[in-house]
Amino acid sequence: MTKEFEALCHLLSEAVRLKSYDGLLFSGGLDTSLIAALNPKVPAVTVSLEGKATDIYYADLVAKKFGFKHVHYAVDVDEALGAISEVIGILQSFDPAIPNDLAAYFGLKKAKELGVTAIATGDASDELFGGYSFMQEIDDLEGYIRRISKTMTYSSNDICNFFGLKIVQPFTDKNVVDFALGLPRQMKIREENGQIWGKWILRKAFEDILPQEVLWQSKRPLEFGSGMTRLREVITRKISDNEFKEKQLAYPVKFLNKEHLYYYEIFRKVVGTIPVPKDTEKPCPGCGTGLEIDTFHCKICGYVLMSCTEGGEEEWRKKGAKQRKT
């Protein structure tokens, strides 16, 4: 094991050990599986839409290996649709990543019902260690990660506040962040067995701890792993082509698709108007709200300014805004 592997194992283990929490929001992905392995004494909650989902398979695998209590919360479609307005109200946003946020919302809601007071999440690992596929296209990855590390925010923070839960994010520990910022690109994104992997150093540093099947799984947004992505088709069917065309002209927002319009109309009801830019802000190309000069992502509409990879609106639409970015 190299000195970098040893250092990462030590720093993340300490970050988990020194933080007090009594629950884990658990997707079965690499990040939360590492946290579960380092502290298997707390119960973990996994969410899926109407039963089985990819996350459940991996989460069960890790739970069986380490023997911790694992709660599976299966949400039906009507329950998920009914929670959208509350989630939009909590986040003050109509970002197309709402299905992602719904999975977190139901997991945190279930944790609250179970009596959990402080819950751990895997937030920040993808941002710090190059976990998103779009990061492979960024030339100055180290500079990009340094910039976003100063403003990283997550919907789980707002949802935890809503439920009165303390949130614990081991990957945001200062020592872990500083270590990640000091790593070169090749320690984060690298080829292994003929495939390019993000978070390479995390996988290699803990390869003697996690099952290989869990360790080398591909990155999947929470909405896909939980099955919440199926809501997109349900919502899309609620709006006709003619209605979408008419409202595209009526509203001062660039909609990604019908689903985006659906969230916006709920936003109008539960939140109200879109905030106007302050004198020190630039207008968002998607909805017109104000953005700080060094911001890449609009928290109101979800627009992603891909200045780091050159692509703008076209790139945003290609990605479908399915990965929430900072």
For the segment 242-259, what is each residue's pLDDT rounded down to a tens digit? 999 999 999 999 999 999
Provide the pLDDT confidence category of residue 322 given band limits of 50, 70 and 90: very low
Structure confidence at residue 53 (pLDDT): 87
Share of the chain above pLDDT 90, in %: 84
**Mean pLDDT score, 172-180:** 97
Mean of the per-residue pLDDT values of the chain: 92
Residue 218 has pLDDT above 60, yes or no: yes
pLDDT in tens, 100-118: 999 999 999 999 999 999 9
Euclidean distance between CA atoms 190 and 203, whole angstroms: 11
Using DSSP's 3-state secondary structure scheme, residue 132 falls into coil
Is 35 within 8 Å of 29 (Cβ atoms)?
A: no
- Total-model pTM: 0.91
Q: Does domain 3-228 have CATH number 3.40.50.720?
A: no
Average pLDDT over residues 166-192: 97
SS (H, E, C) 26-66: CCCCHHHHHHHHHCCCCCEEEEEECCCCHHHHHHHHHHHHH
Position 313 confidence tier, pLDDT thresholds 50, 70, 90: very low
Q: How confident is the model at residue 282 (pLDDT cuts 50, 70, 90)?
A: very high
| Cα–Cα distance for residue pair 98/312, rounded to 1 Å | 21
pLDDT mean over 161-184: 97
**pLDDT class of 40 with cuts at 50, 70, 90:** very high
pLDDT at residue number 306: 59
- Cβ neighbourhood burial of 145 (10 Å; 0-12, 13-18, 19+): buried
CA dihedral 131, 134, 137, 141 (to 10 degrees): -50
**Domain residue ranges of the chain, discontinuous segments joined by +:** 3-228, 240-319
Give CA–CA dist 291/241, Å, rounded. Answer: 31
Do residues 229 and 69 touch, judged by C-beta distance below 8 A?
no
Q: pLDDT at residue 281 above 60?
A: yes
Rounded CA Rg of the chain: 20
Residue 175 pLDDT? 97
**What average pLDDT does the segment 290-301 reach?**
88
**pLDDT for 293:** 80
Query: Is the confidence at residue 324, as pLDDT, over 90?
Result: no
Least reliable range by pLDDT among 56-60, 228-232, 289-293: 289-293
| Tokens (6 digits) for 315 | 């790139």
How far is it, in rounded angstroms, from Cα 270 to Cα 256? Answer: 21
Query: Is the pLDDT at 143 greater than 70, yes or no?
Result: yes
pLDDT tens-digit series, residues 63-87:
999 999 999 999 999 999 999 999 9
Cβ-in-10-Å burial (0-12, 13-18, 19+) of 250 comes to: exposed
Tokens of 53: 């989902």
For 36, 148, 176, 215, the CA distances from 9, given in Å and listed in that order, are 14, 23, 10, 14
Statement: residue 222 has pLDDT above 80: yes
